[in-house]
Amino acid sequence: MKTKTVNIKTVDGSCDAYVAHPDQPAPGVLLLMDIFGVRPYLREMTEHLASHGYYVVTPNLFYRDKHAPLVPDSLFPLAPDQFTAVMQQLRSYMQKFTPEKSVEDLQAIVDFLKTEKEVRPGKVGVTGYCLGGGVAIRAASKIPNLFSAVASFHAARLATDAPNSPHLQIGKIKAELYVGHADNDEGMPPEQQELLRQALIAGHVRFEAELYPGAAHGFTMKDLPRYNQQATEKHWQKLLALLKRNLH
């Protein structure tokens, strides 16, 4: 296993990213962060995924404002009484965040993969969490040939009344898609889940959309208060199966 931090040229500057990969050439996969950014646990997730035979890039989607870490690594794992204060700090980045710009970033990162000798040429996958889940779906919709496998876990606001709601373009996706919904998620209630499902069916997308009962928003994040170990283990099983079907 090899790891490194890289800076990837984009239209708007230089995106810092954490990379992990095996010694032999491997398919490329992007791992997209939640709002808390690239930190010790996301690096751990990156390395875990890479250990299954993938060249994994985890970009800092807020690089236009600040390179990682967005908040000090020493704050993690985040205690419940710290959560609100840290969220307030991160909202300034979120308010300036433009999903459409991140789609451009993902194209630049896939282009970067093509230059790395440890990346096996061919199909690329992406998995996103919370914020990153929405970005993954948007990118797969806007640039249909970018990915062959797309996963989104506990993402919110995927089927809203907004004119740029992800579900309105989702029929353009060519990749196989897996969506893991959090239970009792205010940002992705049952009516939005159903709207998304209907859009996927209407668009003839190959997909599985699944509710994780009892798993709250952010359930895969071990360093946050809502971590759910059982749901996280299932998420790895689903993700690895998706990537194996489509990247090998």
Question: Has 185 been annotated as catalytic?
Answer: yes
Select which of 130, 154, 181, 235 is catalytic: 130
Q: How far apart are CA 58 and CA 151, in angstroms?
A: 14
Question: Has 130 been annotated as catalytic?
Answer: yes
The structure tokens 């991140």 sit at 102
Q: Which long-range contacts (CB under 8 A, 24 or more apart) does 5-14 make?
A: 6/57, 6/112, 8/57, 8/59, 8/108, 8/109, 8/112, 9/108, 9/112, 10/63, 10/104, 10/105, 10/108, 11/104, 11/108, 12/64, 12/101, 12/104, 13/63, 13/64, 14/63
Question: Has 167 been annotated as catalytic?
Answer: no
Select which of 21, 167, 217, 235 is catalytic: 217
Give the β-pairing of 55-59 and 13-21. Answer: antiparallel
Select which of 16, 34, 105, 185 is catalytic: 185
Structure tokens at 11: 């239209």
Q: Which residues are the active-site residues?
A: 130, 185, 217
